[in-house]
Amino acid sequence: MKKIYKVVFTATLGGLLLADTTHAGNDQRAGQAGAQELLINPWARSSGWAGSDVAGCRGLESQFSNVAGTAFIPRTELIFNHTNWLVGTGIGINTFGFCQRVGETGALTLGIMSMNFGQIPITTTDLPDGGLGTYSPSFMNLALSYAKGFSENIYGGLTVRVVSESLPNLSARGVALDAGIQYVTGKKENIKFGISLKNVGPRMQFTGDGLSFRGNIPNTTTNMTVEQRSADFEMPSLLNIGGRYDFLVMKDTSAKVNHRVSLALAFVSNSFSKDQFLVGLEYGFRQYLMLRAGYAYESGIFSMDTRTTAFTGPTAGITFEVPFGPEKKSTFALDYSYRATDPFQGCHTIGARLNL
């Protein structure tokens, strides 16, 4: 039976790699994809070490990095996170998630991410300074996932994500799929490998009254409405491949882990931007305290002249978690992460987590 699982695991990895071969990372295609909010990690824990934990992410946050990790949820998990995105722009991101154990090895997850751009003045060519009121764009995506453990070592999952972008007179809708696999091995299950394919879906296109205008036909007095067509655009698909190793320190008379140091590495192959190499380090004291640091590297990131992103690479995060309830099986946690940027004053994410 184990041989069969290994064959399935290898075949699936190969299929994911082949599926993304025609979409290898290419920075010359930057700007040709839409729905870029799908590339934003809205969660505090995983972003604290640069999203490098593709192989070992666990629980609800895994819906972003590698959906297979949601299969490890023991019972029920709820998270609310708020991100102050690129401080100085006035952009906020609110994210809510719910993950529930289903059966012996399955998990069902719902995640909602919404971006708030504030109130933007309405301007026209005749009134460039505004005075006509304000509007607020609405960017939202809703994800529904199912993950399952196929053996003691292999876990997999699938996400269906509905994407919505809209203005008062213009909107675009789309659907994207994510898939992921994790493999756990080692005497203490401290060696992990993972791969995920994200944001694969049909093209999106804006439609609405905002693409039409009224004007006179030349040499006549006839006034007609002219409707324009917007170009369609692709999803920002990508491939994540990662590994993680946990260094565990246990008590002599107990199986509980007192101290844990985890090293995670990941490679991100982007279809419409530069590829990335992610590295992260996390220290955990039992389940009470976790400290994280990470770095996201891409070509040209060290120089302002060659860097094509506002992010400069370093990330950091911290978690305080308190057990409660009968036998201390439930926990409440506060998570925080920081991502360095230039320009702007970085990105701050704070969240509350409840495990029941």
Cα separation, 195 vs 176, in Å, equals 17
CB 269 within 8 A of CB 297: no
- CA–CA–CA angle 349, 355, 356 (5° rounding): 155
Return the percentage of the chain with pLDDT > 70, whole number. 90
Taking residue 159's Cβ as centre, other Cβ atoms within 10 Å add up to 24
Longest dimension (CA), the chain: 94
CA 116 to chain centroid: 17
Residue 22 has pLDDT above 60, yes or no: no
Instruction: Give residue 347's identity as a one-letter amino acid code.
Output: C
In this predicted model, what pLDDT tens digit does every residue of 53-84 receive, in sequence order? 999 999 999 999 999 999 999 999 999 999 99
Please report whether residue 212 resides in a domain.
Answer: no
pLDDT given for residue 161 in this prediction: 97
Please report whether residue 221 resides in a domain.
Answer: no
Tokens of residue 190, six digits: 């401290």
Number of domains comprising the chain = 1
Please report whether residue 224 resides in a domain.
Answer: no
Residue 12 has pLDDT above 60, yes or no: no
Burial class (CB in 10 A: 0-12, 13-18, 19+), 35: buried
In this predicted model, what pLDDT tens digit does every residue of 154-167 receive, in sequence order? 999 999 999 999 99
Please report whether residue 14 resides in a domain.
Answer: yes
Return the percentage of the chain with pLDDT > 90, whole number. 71
CA dihedral 58, 64, 67, 69 (to 10 degrees): -10
pLDDT given for residue 255 in this prediction: 65
- At residue 325 the predicted structure's pLDDT band, cuts being 50, 70 and 90, is confident
Please report whether residue 214 resides in a domain.
Answer: no
Q: What's the pTM value of the predicted model, to 2 decimals?
A: 0.88
In this predicted model, what pLDDT tens digit does every residue of 244-277 receive, in sequence order? 999 999 765 566 788 999 999 999 999 888 999 9
- CA–CA–CA angle 124, 130, 134 (5° rounding): 100
CB 227 within 8 A of CB 208: no
For the domain that residue 45 is a member of, what is the CATH number? Answer: 2.40.160.60
- At residue 310 the predicted structure's pLDDT band, cuts being 50, 70 and 90, is very high
Tokens of residue 131, six digits: 């005075």
**Report for 16-20, 79-83, 246-250, 302-306: range of highest mean pLDDT:** 79-83
Cα separation, 90 vs 334, in Å, equals 23
Please report whether residue 225 resides in a domain.
Answer: no
- At residue 150 the predicted structure's pLDDT band, cuts being 50, 70 and 90, is very high
- At residue 211 the predicted structure's pLDDT band, cuts being 50, 70 and 90, is confident
Instruction: Give residue 17's identity as a one-letter amino acid code.
Output: L
Q: Which position has the higher pLDDT, 326 or 192?
A: 192
Enclosing domain of residue 118 = 2-202+236-355
Mean pLDDT, the chain, as a whole number?
A: 89
pLDDT given for residue 17 in this prediction: 47
Tokens of residue 312, six digits: 């400069």
Mean pLDDT calculated for residue range 209-214: 83
Please report whether residue 228 resides in a domain.
Answer: no
Please report whether residue 16 resides in a domain.
Answer: yes
**Spatial CA neighbour of 248 closest among 282, 209, 218, 211:** 282
CA dihedral 181, 187, 188, 193 (to 10 degrees): -20
pLDDT given for residue 117 in this prediction: 93
